[in-house]
Amino acid sequence: MSAATVAASRFTPAPKPSDATVTDPALVKRAVQAAALGNAMEWFDFGVYSYIAVTLGKVFFPSGNSTAQLLSTFGAFAAAFLVRPLGGMVFGPLGDRVGRQKVLAVTMIMMAIGTFSIGLIPSYAAIGVGAPVLLLVARLVQGFSTGGEYAGASTFIAEYAPDKRRGFLGSWLEFGTLAGYIGGAGLVTLMTALLSSEDLVSWGWRIPFLIAGPMGVIGLYLRLRLEETPAFAAEVEKAEAARPKVPLREMIAGQWKALLLCMGLVLVFNVTDYMLLSYMPSYLTSELKYDETHGLLVVLAVMALMMIVQPFVGALTDRVGRRPVIAAGCAGFLFLSVPAILLIRQGSLLAVALGMGALGLLLVCFTAAMPSALPALFPTRVRYGSLSIGFNVSVSLFGGTTPLVVTALIGATGNMMMPAYYMMAAAVIGGAAVWFMTESAGRPLPGSAPSLERGAKR
C-alpha cells in the first residue's frame, strides 16, 4: 500500500453520489498547528532581521552615514527575495509531484540552517568584506527555502480544511507569522533595554539568530509527523501510479489569468505587510528619530492586537466571503494611509500608536483572508507549483523590496510621506485584483471534492 493510500485512508469518504471527503478534526488541527508553528519560526527570523537592522548595519556595513548602513542592510534583506522565485520554481512543482509534507519538511530545515548560520558569522571588523558576503549567502539560502514555504503551508491547510471553515483555519497560518514577529520583536526589545549599544553590536545581536537552531528542530519534528493532504492523496489515487511530472509551462501559461490575480493580491498583501511589520520600526528610529525602544514596543502592541483579531476576521471570511474582506482592506489603505502616516509623524506615543493600530487592523483584512483565498485560485494538480511561482515573483518584486525602495525614495525626495503613497498605490492594484477574482468561501477547492468536517451537517 502506498503512502498516499495510507494518508487517504485517514479520511472517511462520504457515501456516493456526493463523493465528499469527511475530515478528522484532530488531523486538521494537527496540520494547522504544524503549518502555523513552522511559519512562526520562519518569520521570527525575518522579524529579528528587520528590528535589529540598525545594529546589523554597524556590524556588517561600517560607514559614517547611517542611511547608507540601513540601505546596505535592507539590500541584503531584499537579496533573499530575489531568489525566492527560484525556490518557488523548484519546491512548488516538487510539492505537486512528491507531496506537500515532504517539501515542507525540507524548507523548514533549510530555513533553520540559514538563520542559525547568521549568528555564527564574524563581524566586518574581524574578517573584512567576507562578513557581508557570508551574510548575503545565508540570506540567499533563507530566501531559496522560503520560496516553497508560504505557498506550501497555505496549500497544506487549505487542502485539509473543511470548505465551510477554510477561512478560519487558514487565518491561523498568519497567526503563526504574527507570533514569530512578536517573538522576534519582543526579544530585540528586551535586548535593547538590557544591553548597552556596545554589547549589542559586539555580541548581543547573535542571540536571536542562534535560537533558530532548536526552533527549527521542533518545527521539523512537527512536520515530519504529518500525513499528506486528502486532496493530494486523491490525485495520486486517480493516477494509480507515481505522480506524473507537471510541466512548468502548464503551471504558468496554463494558469496565466489566475497567476495575474495572485500576483495582484500578493502585491497589496505584502507591500502593506512589510511596510508595517518590517520597515516601520526603522522608519520610526532612522527617519523620525523616535526612541528605538518605544518604537519597538508600539509595533509589538500592534501585532498583539492583530493576533487577537485575526481568527475572528478569518471566521468572518467564511460567512461573508473573502472578496468583501479583502476589498475593505484595499479601500482602507487607499483612504487612510495618509492620515495614519500623518499621525505617526506627530511623534507622540498616543499618535504613533493610533496610526500604527489603524494600519494593523487594515492589514488583518489581508492576513486573515489570503491564506484561504490564494490556494483557491488554482486546481489541485498545479496548486503548490503555480501558487509558489505567482506568490514569490510578486513578493520578490514588490514585497521584500519595500523597505529598500521606500528608504531610497525618502532619501531621494526628502518626502516623509512616501510610505503612505506606496501603500496607496498597492491598494489600487489589489482592488483591481479583487474585482476580477471569484468568490471561494464555502466552496470546494478547484479540482478537489467537497470537504466536510466529521459530525458537520451537509
- Which pLDDT score, from 0 to 100, does residue 33 have? 86
Q: Is residue 197 in a domain?
A: yes
- Which pLDDT score, from 0 to 100, does residue 13 have? 40
10-residue averages of pLDDT along the chain (458 residues): 40 45 80 84 76 78 65 69 86 89 89 88 85 85 86 92 94 92 82 85 89 81 83 76 63 86 96 86 76 74 94 97 97 97 88 93 97 94 92 86 85 90 97 96 87 63
- Which pLDDT score, from 0 to 100, does residue 16 have? 41
Q: Is the dihedral of CA 336, 362, 273, 147 positive or negative?
A: negative
Q: Is residue 243 in a domain?
A: no
Q: Is residue 450 in a domain?
A: no
- Which pLDDT score, from 0 to 100, does residue 71 have? 65
Q: Is residue 183 in a domain?
A: yes
Helix boundaries (H) for 347-436: 349-373, 383-394, 402-413, 418-436
| Secondary structure of residue 23 in the 3-state scheme | strand
Nearest Cα to Cα of residue 141 among 56, 82, 75, 72: 82
Q: Is residue 451 in a domain?
A: no
Domain count, the chain: 1
- Which pLDDT score, from 0 to 100, does residue 356 have? 94
Q: Is the dihedral of CA 289, 293, 297, 303 positive or negative?
A: positive
Number of Cβ atoms within 10 Å of the Cβ of 362: 23
First to last CA, the chain: 31
- Which pLDDT score, from 0 to 100, does residue 363 have? 97
Q: Which residue has the cell 487542502?
A: 159
- Separation CA 458–CA 456 (nearest Å): 6
Q: Is residue 3 in a domain?
A: no
Phi first, then psi: what are they for 12, rounded to 5°?
Answer: -80, 120
Q: Is residue 16 in a domain?
A: no
Domain that holds residue 327: 22-238+250-440
Sheet holding 21-23, edge to edge: 12-13, 21-23, 451-453
**Contact predicate 280/130, CB 8 Å:** no
**Contact predicate 107/91, CB 8 Å:** yes
Grid cell at residue 122: 564574524
- Which pLDDT score, from 0 to 100, does residue 325 have? 98
The domain that contains 187 carries what CATH number? Answer: 1.20.1250.20
- Which pLDDT score, from 0 to 100, does residue 377 have? 96
Q: Is residue 8 in a domain?
A: no
Beta bridge partners, 22, equal: 12, 452
